[in-house]
Structure 1
Amino acid sequence: MLQAVLFADVTNSTKLYETVGDDEAKRLVDACLDILRDVTAFFGGRVVKTLGDEVMCVFSGADAAAEASCEMQNRLSEDELATRHGLSIRIGFHVGHLIEDNGDVFGDAVNTASRITSLAKGGQTITTETAAAAMSSDLRDLTRNMGRFAVRGKAESIAICEVVWQAENLTMISDRLPMTLPPPTISLRLVYQGGSLTLTPEDEAVVIGRERSCRIRLSVPCASRTHARVEFRRDKFVLSDTSTNGTFVQADGEKEVALKREEFILHGNGRICLGHRLSEGSADLVWSVRTYQ
């Protein structure tokens, strides 16, 4: 059965943290995320995960995703606090067959939805021509063809549509989206006992654990067979814990964070421990995120 996967990302939050401070910025962003969760539930969807200022949702089909996306945009545009601080959302969704595992979802549809979301601007919703074709006729009438665009990780360009959620947006669209994504400007280096690995945005996800099939195989007593995975999602490297005992991470200059079936954005430099705290032994992996021109 085809399902729809949707990403909604709160924009301008980085600037918000700089201008109003961490506590107030988090409160404002959390209020936006609560609106996105409420709308998702209203339209029968499920929030799969929240990562920073972004939610990933799954819906029964293209119609539910389209209706939810319009309501999300409307609710945020009418929220006085959000608009006062320049917050908006960019949304992207796609339909396809999803693979579900421990509450998470995977597959080409997820990757496509995530990557086209990067093309959207704040206050804009885009989807694929495939998803638009799966909508009922009245909802399909809300879409405008944007042309074909090169998307990272895809051999062929993808036909993109905008979902027009307010009447004043029904204008001729010109130069709204870049024709190509910029080249990768970030890499991640993982150093561990017995080797090292450097990842770029084009690389596949890396599984870490005791299992022989893991790309990074570590003989750590309290580690699970498939303990964690690292992947590039949108503009960041993300560490996801899939273990029994948890994963402990500490970025330089920050407190140690315990992950239990949760995710962490790898930034700067730091250390990763599989199933134990850093104080209980040395780090199992050391990471370094580097940006370049």
Structure 2
Amino acid sequence: MEQRLAAILAVDMAGYSRLMEADESGTLARLRAHRIELIDPAIAKNKGRIIKTTGDGMLVEFQSVTDAVKCAVEVQQRMKRRNSDVSQDRRIEFRIGINLGDIIFDDEDIFGDGVNIASRIEQLADIGGICVTAAVATQIADRLEVPIEDLGEKMLKNISRPIRLYRIGFDYPSHPPQQTELEATRPVSKPSIVVLPFNNMSGDPEQEFFADGLTEDIITELSRHHELFVISRNSSFVYKNQAVNVREVAEKLGAQYLVEGSVRKIGDRVRVTVQLIDTASDAHIWADKYDRKLDDIFAIQDEVTAAIAATLPGRVEAAQRDQLARAKPANMAAYECVLAAKVLHHRSTIADNERAQVLIDRALELDPDYAHAHAWRACILGQAWVHGWCEDKDAVWTEICAELDQALALDDNDADVHRILAAVNVNSNALTTARYHQERALALNPNYDLVVVQQGELLTWLGRPEEGVEWIRKAMQLNPHHPERFWSHLGKAHFAACQYGEAIEAFMHLTAMDAGQRAFAAACYGWLGDEIAAAAHLDQVKKLDPKFNLETFMGTLHYARETDAQHVRDGLLKAGIASFGLV
């Protein structure tokens, strides 16, 4: 046995039994996600060591009291952010207690008075709060800038003497800041959008409910996109059944863009029309209509909502890009810098990547707490890392991880943050971690085409390409204006499913194929036994990348199953890659 002085952090989940009774598998999945994404990394970052875990809690040892408190504050702050859009009855919340005292180590377990006190005071902590002993409060008083509230002496179960306790506060607002506060502190100019109540053109009162429900669902789904400022339902429904003046609505609600539409029932069919208007110019940016058979009104509502919510943000971003092209760079706000950086990133050249890095750095100079910018800096650096456009790959990887940690700390509820985290983890072959982040991104924004297509890509890597094809095609349906690279993802999924003809057809949709895509096309023809077509693609591989090498190429793939990787290798060997000197 070993005895020493240490800081002990005890954490326990509030309402565990109630949540497990209501949804056992869902609760366990969410708790596991919180552990992987937040709690365990926070412990490791603050040099803690998990000693014991239970179903709903754990004991953690820290050599430093300061590290223990910093870890607790980070966990509770970020859990509050994570729970901000979760209903009260489904929230996973923790109580944390911290004590400094002698503990006894025996066979990888810990005992002693110091442990008992930590466990007892954890039970007295507020839900989502932190309770500490006087020994801890004294140590951090001059070291950490956190509020400390004296709770007085308390008698604890099975502890003979009274223990003086303190509550640790942390800088997290109890209510979301008002828009005026945001404008004063954050130089982010998100495009604002209002969805007016859809008009019922049917003369059928029952369709009024459908029209209102459709409008509310579109508002809800658009609100999932953190790069849009969506005017609330209470404000937009003031204009229900009124003839509106676009400029007047824009001025009163502060909306740059306006969505309006109508619902018309025709026999056993329903038609929904929708249009997006730039309120400054009164110009129609985008319009579409949806004709559906009136079998299941709620299924139609879900389908149309998903299509509109997936398409609109892309049309808004395109309009913003057009405006940005006419703006002077010196006038850019943080949002505009991020937008311009995204455009350059998608061009996928070394020069554009370097320019994108300059712009994303500028965005973070303007607003260091802009989570979306931190996530996209990781994405842009990740592009340089993947393509080898950086001198020190290890240093760049460290930067990528730091940016994503910062993005998560600032906003755990941004689907883009988790989408990019999933992509980065795929590139480092950490597929289990990638899956957790991908599932969280999908839960946060199930109609975001970039998240949906990535689900298909990840399933392909995991050995489920037939499902991958379905998700990629769903992303294409959600956003008919999808990026061209969706076809590449589809081609690779079809290849993994041994559907070579469909894979070739998908690759042929690309305006120009890079060396990797040409290699996949060659492998398709290799399996089909078409030597001439395979050779033509391999010849293009050599021209596009004279240094192309089979083993290096295989290192860029992220299949969970060795048989899937071997499938690619065998296809290229059948294509005759050896005769081109590319092995």
- How does the TM-score come out when normalised to structure 1? 0.53
Equivalent-residue separation in structure 2 for 1:82 and 1:60 (angstroms): 35
1:137 corresponds to 2:139 = no
| Contact map agreement 2:66 2:143 (CA 8 A) in 1 | no
Alignment of 1:1-293 (within 5 A): 2-19=5-22, 21-34=23-36, 35-80=38-83, 83-84=86-87, 85-135=90-140, 137-139=142-144, 141-168=146-173
Q: CA deviation at 1:61?
A: 1.9
* Structure in which a larger fraction of residues adopt helix: 2
Equivalent-residue separation in structure 2 for 1:154 and 1:79 (angstroms): 35
| Contact map agreement 1:12 1:86 (CA 8 A) in 2 | no
The gaps in structure 1 that reach 5 residues or longer are 170-293
| Contact map agreement 2:83 2:91 (CA 8 A) in 1 | no
Please tell me the residue identity of whatever aligns with 1:33: R
Please tell me the residue identity of whatever aligns with 1:86: R
| Contact map agreement 1:133 1:140 (CA 8 A) in 2 | no
Q: CA deviation at 1:148?
A: 0.9
Equivalent-residue separation in structure 1 for 2:118 and 2:101 (angstroms): 10
Cα RMSD after superposing both structures: 2.0
Percent identical pairs in the alignment equals: 26
Q: Which has the larger radius of gyration?
A: 2
When structure 1 is superposed on structure 2, of 99-108 and 155-164 the one drifting more is 99-108
Judging changes above 3 Å, is the alpha-carbon distance between structure 1 residues 24 and 41 closer, same or farther for their aligned structure 2 residues?
same
Please list every run of at least 4 consecutive aligned residues from structure 1 whose deviation after the TM superposition is greater than 3 angstroms: 80-84
Q: How many residues align?
A: 168
- Which digits, 9 at most, give the CA deviation of each residue in 1:144-198, with x for residues without a partner? 11111111112221100001123557xxxxxxxxxxxxxxxxxxxxxxxxxxxxx
Q: CA deviation at 1:73?
A: 0.2
Judging changes above 3 Å, is the alpha-carbon distance between structure 1 residues 140 and 110 closer, same or farther for their aligned structure 2 residues?
farther
Equivalent-residue separation in structure 2 for 1:107 and 1:23 (angstroms): 35
Secondary structure of 1:41's counterpart equals: helix
Q: CA deviation at 1:82?
A: 8.5
The gaps in structure 2 that reach 5 residues or longer are 175-583
Please tell me the residue identity of whatever aligns with 1:96: G
Please tell me the residue identity of whatever aligns with 2:34: C
Q: CA deviation at 1:113?
A: 0.2
| Contact map agreement 1:2 1:96 (CA 8 A) in 2 | yes
Equivalent-residue separation in structure 1 for 2:42 and 2:117 (angstroms): 22
Please tell me the residue identity of whatever aligns with 1:29: L
- How does the TM-score come out when normalised to structure 2? 0.28
- Which digits, 9 at most, give the CA deviation of each residue in 1:90-138, with x for residues without a partner? 0001001221122211111001000111111211100001111122503
Secondary structure of 1:153's counterpart equals: coil
Q: CA deviation at 1:37?
A: 1.6
| Contact map agreement 1:40 1:46 (CA 8 A) in 2 | yes
* Structure in which a larger fraction of residues adopt strand: 1
Q: CA deviation at 1:32?
A: 2.6
Q: Which structure has the higher relative contact order (CA within 8 Å, separation 6+)? A: 1
Judging changes above 3 Å, is the alpha-carbon distance between structure 1 residues 114 and 144 closer, same or farther for their aligned structure 2 residues?
same
When structure 1 is superposed on structure 2, of 126-135 and 108-117 the one drifting more is 126-135
Judging changes above 3 Å, is the alpha-carbon distance between structure 1 residues 68 and 138 closer, same or farther for their aligned structure 2 residues?
same
Q: CA deviation at 1:12?
A: 2.2
Please tell me the residue identity of whatever aligns with 2:160: A
Q: CA deviation at 1:49?
A: 1.5
